[in-house]
Amino acid sequence: MMRDDQPRLLKHVYQQACLAEVEAIKPGNVHVFADGHGMQVQDFIESAEVSAIAISQADLSLGERIYQGVAATWEAVACNTNLGIILLCAPIIQCRLQDAEQPLQTHLPKMLKSTTVTDAEWLFKAILRANPAGLGQSDTHDVHGPARASLLTVMEAAASRDLIALQYSNGFFNILTEGVPHYQAAVKRLDNAAWAVTEVYLYWLSHHLDSHIVRKHGVAQAEQVQSEAKVHYEAYQQRTNPKLYLKALLTFDAQLKAAGINPGTSADLTVATLLAHAVI
């Protein structure tokens, strides 16, 4: 059962997760230390504010929730700053609006199984509105055509090539069993939430091929970035004072941006990790 104040609370924790991610150093991605890829930090701050209002509305289906978040963002900043974030955070919010207490591990799979073809139609509209880089055509479930299956079925079809779709397919297993525990351990070790966010981002980038890089630059490039990220992740974990590793992170950041490489999926997974932690 939804509490009366649940939409307001979810709006707050979602916005805070978005802001915490943009305030942390994330090599290759936009953050307060460096803009990049034609986008500025202010774009992400505005996106967090407007999408928080849209995505936390009561009485929306999952597909509508996704579309409303994307539409609000586009109207505010006229660029795709957060499609992946919304795709990952909307199901978590949907679950918590439906039931504030049921464990996400059991509620998320059940909620996703209840999605419909109409939800998929809203999803297709959201993706077309955001027009993400690397968007092409597909032989099955092409967003340029009508939806013919439920939102979950559409995501399951893409799970082998997209980390965000994989979360739908496996009930957000990676976020709940990798991301959240890792963030909690990082906060405890570093005693600093911002540096813990950086560690979680490096974890995703070093342990999973970034889907956004794969789409834009191919698997070989994604594997190279993952290999480089592993070196930084392991070195970062050895630091008791992460500030001493700042120069190396900013150098890696500049190298990725100079090459036009944006690990956007790793950033999206980081935001979802923070939101899941806040509402677990």
Q: Is the pLDDT of residue 35 over 90?
A: no
d(CA 90, CA 63): 9
Closest alpha carbon to 23 in 195, 248, 178, 250: 195
pLDDT by residue (tens digit) across 193-229? 999 999 999 999 999 999 999 999 999 999 999 999 9
Q: Is the pLDDT of residue 89 over 90?
A: yes
Q: What is the pTM of this model?
A: 0.94
Q: Output the DSSP codes for 20-55.
A: HHHHS--TTS-BTTB-BTTB-HHHHHHHHHHHHHHH
H or E stretch at 277: helix 264-279
* Superfamily of segment(s) 1-280: Triphosphoribosyl-dephospho-CoA protein (1.10.4200.10)
Domain boundaries, the chain: 1-280
